[in-house]
Amino acid sequence: MSWSARRVTLPAITPIILQKRVIKVYSEDETSRALEVPSDITARDVCQLLILKNHYIDDHSWTLFEHLPHIGVERTIEDHELVIEVLSHWGMEEENKLYFRKNYAKYEFFKNPMYFFPEHMVSFATETNGEISPSQILQMFISSSTYPEIHGFLHAKEQGKKSWKKIYFLLRRSGLYFSTKGTSKEPRHLQFFSEFGNSDVYVSVAGKKNHGAPTSYGFCF
């Protein structure tokens, strides 16, 4: 038996170097704290870092918010989102801020789904046997192909217009639609309003004052 030696060349390993950025995070009393963070840090990581630095109790309600004062809206930055990516969408002249504060309803959608799926606002594409519990609807909402439809009235305002209209909306897997004829769900009466693949949902901070909204509770995409 004979052996022959062969030289094997391994590919060069390129080290991955994560750049660090300094971000400023505000508290409710408008005091701020500068943090040097890696470019891949998530919103949850920032919350955990601030909880440790401030010696807070972690009750799972601490939340990072994106606040856009020039249009009077803000939103919860979801746990998995990359904070630097969020900041990259801000304009140079905008006075946007990151806020760190408690949001007791942060996981309410998963803890108490019954508040989010009123029976009169939920319908299914196929017939169901017996009643479906809110927790079952939640599971369908997240993972199933038999996606429930959420429907009801909202006040809406088209861009460039001053008046608000009460319109019947339908939330489906493919996006948000509204009916051009009362509560009709016929395809010819449904008009596409927004998709959610590349959209974020913001809550109006001062909708009545800034946009003449008919209620104090509003949201935009």
Q: Is the pLDDT of residue 33 over 70?
A: yes
pLDDT, residue 9, reads 65
pLDDT at 178 over 90: yes
Single-letter residue type at 153: F
Average pLDDT over residues 27-49: 95
Alpha-carbon radius of gyration of the chain: 24
Label residue 51 left, alpha or beta by phi (over 0 means left) and psi (-120 to 50 means alpha): alpha
Considering only 19-23, 131-135, 142-146, 185-189, which range has the smallest mean pLDDT?
142-146
State the pLDDT at residue 89.
Answer: 92
The tokens describing 202, both together, are 């913001």
Q: CA torsion 54→57→59→63, rounded to 10°?
A: -10
Query: Can you state the percent helix, strand and coil of the chain, rounding each to 5?
Result: 20, 30, 50
What 3-state DSSP class applies to 187? helix
With beta carbons less than 8 A apart as the criterion, state whether 60 and 192 touch. no
Q: Is the dihedral of CA 83, 86, 92, 97 positive or negative?
A: negative
- Dihedral sign for Cα 100, 102, 107, 109, please: negative
How far apart are alpha carbons 194 and 219 in whole angstroms? 13
Of 206, 43, 201, which is closest to residue 109 (Cα–Cα)? 201
Torsion region of 7: left, alpha or beta (phi above 0 gives left; psi -120 to 50 gives alpha): beta
Could you give the CA distance from residue 137 to residue 117 in angstroms, rounded to a whole number?
A: 8
| 4 pLDDT higher than 90 | no
Quick: pLDDT tens for 93-136: 889 999 999 999 999 988 888 888 888 888 876 555 557 777 77
Enter the tokens of residue 55. 């010696």
CA dihedral 190, 198, 108, 117 (to 10 degrees): 10
Question: Got the DSSP string for 195-215?
Answer: -STT---EEESSHHHHH--SS
Q: Please state whether 72 falls in left (phi above 0), alpha (psi between -120 and 50) or beta.
A: left
Q: Is the pLDDT of residue 199 over 60?
A: yes
Would the pLDDT of 10 be above 80? no
More confident residue, 146 or 188: 188
